[in-house]
Amino acid sequence: MSLLFIIQNLKKHLWKRNNLYLVVFTAVLLTGCGEKPENKKFVARVNDSFLTQDDLDEISDTSFKNNFYRSEIIRNWIDEELLYQEALNDGIIEDEDFNRIINNSRKKLAAAMLLKKVTDQYEFTYNDSDLEEFYQTNKDEFKNKVDAFLMNIAEFSSEDKAIEFRALVLENEWQNAVDSKKYEDLLNKKENVLLDENEIYPLAVRSVLQELYSNELSIIINTDSSYVILQVIEKYPEGTIPPFNLIKTKIERRFVSFEKRKFINEYIKKLYAENDIEVKNQDNK
């Protein structure tokens, strides 16, 4: 399992799974068991319900090719399908509470899809100056909630090659070693990546990072399937605010989200004006 791959994708994967779990589960309940694919190719099956590769791509991040997470997603699908089929056998879908929840879920899902549609159609332009102004105005929002590390990462499949690369870095500095390309069996590398400590896995790697000084090179860390070398460029403790250039992507996400939220608020105000709405006073039941 590639350490750098996990670091770069774990947070995004967990966020996506947590936020979309209810939607996916509701969709499963609404659509029922999948029919057997015509080409008979599927990645998993529970009785007469099939999970195709297209289905798997739809409910997961298609960039997530790591076998560990692929297996996890498939296992979750099997768990849900087993429970769904048992619920069918138990008559749950005829239950009044079930249908009430489904109706409420349909409303929420429809509303969410409408908001996604209108926000996707909303176009606005911005530049780095807008992002810089947003950063300066909302600096407190970008304070580190935990320690963060600006670092270089190199990951090898061979311990010998990792040793050679580390020696090359000690002789010529990190960037010179990377530019020389005098290394083999390199799985992944990343320069000047800023990560919160809770994004760093496994814990052994985090422990090593916490002991390093600025610009210090780590020992070779043996993970389950690779050999990792780290170099801490700078530490940003909890409560500090990283420079604009290091968190520009995060700032941009917040800025776009903020602008879209303003647009949504205006859109809902418009709906209020266009529709007949009445809220009765409780004293006048």
SS (H, E, C) 106-144: HHHHHHHHHHHHHHHHCCCCCCHHHHHHHHHHCHHHHCC
| Distance in angstroms (rounded) separating the CA atoms of residues 27 and 20 | 10
Q: Within a domain: residue 170?
A: yes
> Does the pLDDT value for residue 31 go beyond 60?
no
Least confident of 37-46, 235-244, 274-283: 37-46
Q: Which residue has the higher pLDDT, 193 or 28?
A: 193
Q: Check whether the bond before 237 is cis (ω within 30° of 0).
A: no
Which pLDDT does position 57 carry in this prediction? 79
Q: Within a domain: residue 13?
A: yes
| Residue that is last in its domain, among 90, 116, 133 | 90
Is there a single domain that holds both residue 145 and residue 227? yes
Q: Within a domain: residue 181?
A: yes
What is the rounded (10 degree) CA torsion for 250, 252, 258, 262?
-160
> Does the pLDDT value for residue 65 go beyond 90?
no
What is the rounded (10 degree) CA torsion for 104, 107, 112, 117?
170
| Distance in angstroms (rounded) separating the CA atoms of residues 208 and 145 | 20
Among the listed residues 128, 146, 147, the one whose alpha carbon sits nearest the alpha carbon of residue 252: 128
Is there a single domain that holds both residue 147 and residue 77? no
| Residue that is last in its domain, among 67, 90, 113 | 90
Which pLDDT does position 103 carry in this prediction? 93
User: What's the pLDDT band for 23 if we cut at 50, 70, 90?
Assistant: very low
Least confident of 19-33, 109-123, 232-246: 19-33
SS3 45: strand
Is there a single domain that holds both residue 154 and residue 232? yes
Q: Which residue has the higher pLDDT, 55 or 253?
A: 253
CA distances from 240 to 7, 87, 193 (A): 22, 50, 17
Domain holding 200, by residue range, is 141-236
> Does the pLDDT value for residue 185 go beyond 90?
no
Q: Within a domain: residue 201?
A: yes
The string of pLDDT tens digits covering residues 143-155 is 999 999 999 999 9
Q: Within a domain: residue 98?
A: no
Is there a single domain that holds both residue 147 and residue 215? yes
Which pLDDT does position 34 carry in this prediction? 58
CATH of the domain at 180: 3.10.50.40
Q: Within a domain: residue 268?
A: no
Which pLDDT does position 151 carry in this prediction? 94
Measured in whole angstroms, how far is the alpha carbon of residue 74 from the centre of its chain? 18
Q: Which two tokens stand for residue 108?
A: 């929420």
The residue count of the chain comes to 285
Which pLDDT does position 39 carry in this prediction? 59
> Does the pLDDT value for residue 233 go beyond 70?
yes
User: What's the average model confidence in pLDDT over 61-66?
Assistant: 50
Least confident of 43-47, 100-104, 179-183: 179-183
Number of structural domains in the chain: 2
Which pLDDT does position 24 carry in this prediction? 41
Q: Within a domain: residue 272?
A: no
Which pLDDT does position 53 carry in this prediction? 85
Which pLDDT does position 202 carry in this prediction? 76
User: What's the pLDDT band for 17 if we cut at 50, 70, 90?
Assistant: very low
| Distance in angstroms (rounded) separating the CA atoms of residues 148 and 241 | 10
Least confident of 36-40, 88-92, 174-178, 254-258: 36-40
Which pLDDT does position 285 carry in this prediction? 57
Which pLDDT does position 172 carry in this prediction? 87
> Does the pLDDT value for residue 174 go beyond 60?
yes
> Does the pLDDT value for residue 251 go beyond 50?
yes
Q: Within a domain: residue 280?
A: no
Is there a single domain that holds both residue 145 and residue 71? no
Is there a single domain that holds both residue 158 and residue 223? yes
Residues of the chain with pLDDT > 70, as a percent, come to: 82
| Distance in angstroms (rounded) separating the CA atoms of residues 60 and 12 | 11
Measured in whole angstroms, how far is the alpha carbon of residue 34 from the centre of its chain? 27
| Residue that is last in its domain, among 211, 236, 261 | 236
Residues 6+ apart with CB under 8 A from 166: 217, 220, 229
Is there a single domain that holds both residue 155 and residue 82? no
Per the prediction, the chain carries an average pLDDT of 84
